[in-house]
Amino acid sequence: MKHIPVILFGAGGVGRALLRQIIDTRDLVASRNRCRFDVVCVLDSRSWLWQPAGLGDDQLLQIIYAKEAGQRIGGRRPDGLQVLDQLPEAGLERCLVADVTAAVGMEPVINKALEAGYGVVLANKKPLTGPWEDAKHYFAHPSLRYESTVGGGQPVISTLRYLRDTGDQIFGIEGQLSGTLGYICSQLDRGIDFSQALADAKALGYTEPDPREDLGGQDVKRKILILGRMAGWPLEDEEIEVESLYHPSLSHLSVDEFMQAAVAMDPSIRDRVRVANADGKVLRYLAAVNEQGGSVGLKGVRQGNPLADLKYISFRTRRYEDEPLMIGGKGAGVAMTAGGVLGDMIGLAREVWKLLQL
Ligand SMILES: NC(=O)c1ccc[n+]([C@@H]2O[C@H](COP(=O)([O-])OP(=O)(O)OC[C@H]3O[C@@H](n4cnc5c(N)ncnc54)[C@H](OP(=O)(O)O)[C@@H]3O)[C@@H](O)[C@H]2O)c1
């Protein structure tokens, strides 16, 4: 049995779900892959717990409970690079670093981990969406995986990788990449006003605490930029046009004030729904990318088109030109996202380190 030391950056919704899945799948991972993930270190933004022999499952559960209760993981944490320095000193090698934060500035840690020959798994989109010159080596690196950055647990990234690996040529990618905005669009279909749909989404916990983070489209932009770069196009952030669903003049409001001000957007969105419906279409917040660039925003989609069915991502390629390759299914949520991260960890263990042969 190969023991793989894991360093986990981030203990939010996804990090906690990942820890639970690591505990719950121990027997399965051992029997199918002859390996065991020894979580030696868990860090949040302020604190950490570190045990070179691997934290016990009872300790991992304590971390989950502490974070759910809004408490710290442990003592004050060192800098991320210092954490990596401690690994060889503790005799740990062939480690796996998982970044399930939404933090900016993780690149030095990721680069150092890759230089040390470690595997890296990202749910964090930010390192992949910085300037192309800084990010391009991530897209070619065999020890870096990021399945859950787009589509949660859906095999979007692995499908695109397979298409590229087997010589297909990508012409265009299009999809509905936000569960939150998908929900809001489905409510608009039912005649519910935008502000009410937004309030419902917030009450159901589908939005970020500040819904402007969803409505601004930046997260969707990062996802389509990742897909475009994977497709082989060295696109920069500014080559993806984004339609924000709120006016910049509402940026300075508190969340409560913003939720009230959202009513002012109802008439214009109602008009757009009406115009789309009159043409046999529904409104969807779509992202699209091709070699020239990309766009993110509300578009009319003909009823009956799979993209009107909220869940799909479509790839138009040389092989799939007349009939695009579609991937659909429930994608969002911390459990699916954590499943994508765990799948990447197993994939690295199996394919890159060939543990089954060791
Ligand atoms: N939630 C989803 O359904 C979903 C789906 C797809 C992708 N993702 C991506 O997955 C990532 C995590 O999402 P989430 O929902 O788990 O976010 P979250 O609940 O906000 O958790 C983020 C975690 O990262 C920690 N953190 C922040 N900066 C850090 C740093 N420099 N070093 C170590 N830890 C740091 C935070 O620490 P504190 O606890 O101290 O604040 C928190 O524990 C994000 O990039 C998100 O875009 C999420």
pLDDT digits (tens, 9 = 90+) for 173-232: 999 999 899 999 999 999 999 999 999 999 988 888 899 989 999 999 999 999 999 999
Nearest CA to ligand 1 atom 13: 14
What percent of the chain stands above pLDDT 90?
A: 88
Query: Does the C-beta of 12 come closer than 6 Å to ligand 1?
Result: yes
The highest-level CATH class for domain 2-153+335-357 is alpha beta
Three-state DSSP state, 171: strand
Q: What is the mean pLDDT of residues 67-71?
A: 97
User: Looking at the chain, which residues constitute the CATH 3.30.360.10 domain(s)?
Assistant: 170-330
Cα 270 to middle of ligand 1, angstroms? 34
Q: Predicted confidence band at 320 (pLDDT cuts at 50, 70, 90)?
A: very high
The highest-level CATH class for domain 170-330 is alpha beta
Cα 215 to middle of ligand 1, angstroms? 19
pLDDT for 331:
62
pLDDT digits (tens, 9 = 90+) for 246-258: 999 999 999 999 9
Q: What is the mean pLDDT of residues 347-351?
A: 90
| Pairing of β 2-9 and β 119-122 | unpaired
Mean pLDDT of the chain: 94
pLDDT for 311:
76
Cα 99 to middle of ligand 1, angstroms? 8
Query: Does the C-beta of 334 come closer than 6 Å to ligand 1?
Result: yes
pLDDT for 308:
85
CB 131 within 8 A of CB 236: yes
Q: Predicted confidence band at 160 (pLDDT cuts at 50, 70, 90)?
A: very high
Active site (catalytic) residues: 223
Nearest CA to ligand 1 atom 21: 12
**Radius of gyration over every alpha carbon of the chain, rounded to an integer in angstroms:** 21
Question: Can you tell me which residue has the tokens 């046999």?
Answer: 280
Query: Does the C-beta of 178 come closer than 6 Å to ligand 1?
Result: no
Q: Where are the beta strands (DSSP E) in the chain?
A: 2-9, 35-43, 47-50, 75-76, 96-99, 119-122, 144-145, 170-175, 240-242, 281-290, 293-302, 313-317, 325-327
Given the CA of residue 149, which atom of ligand 1 is nearest to it?
7
Query: Given its phi and psi angles, is residue 116 left (phi above 0), alpha (psi -120 to 50 degrees) or beta?
Result: alpha
Query: Does the C-beta of 332 come closer than 6 Å to ligand 1?
Result: yes
Is the pLDDT at 244 greater than 80? The verdict is yes
User: Looking at the chain, which residues constitute the CATH 3.40.50.720 domain(s)?
Assistant: 2-153+335-357
Which 8-state DSSP code applies to residue 163? H
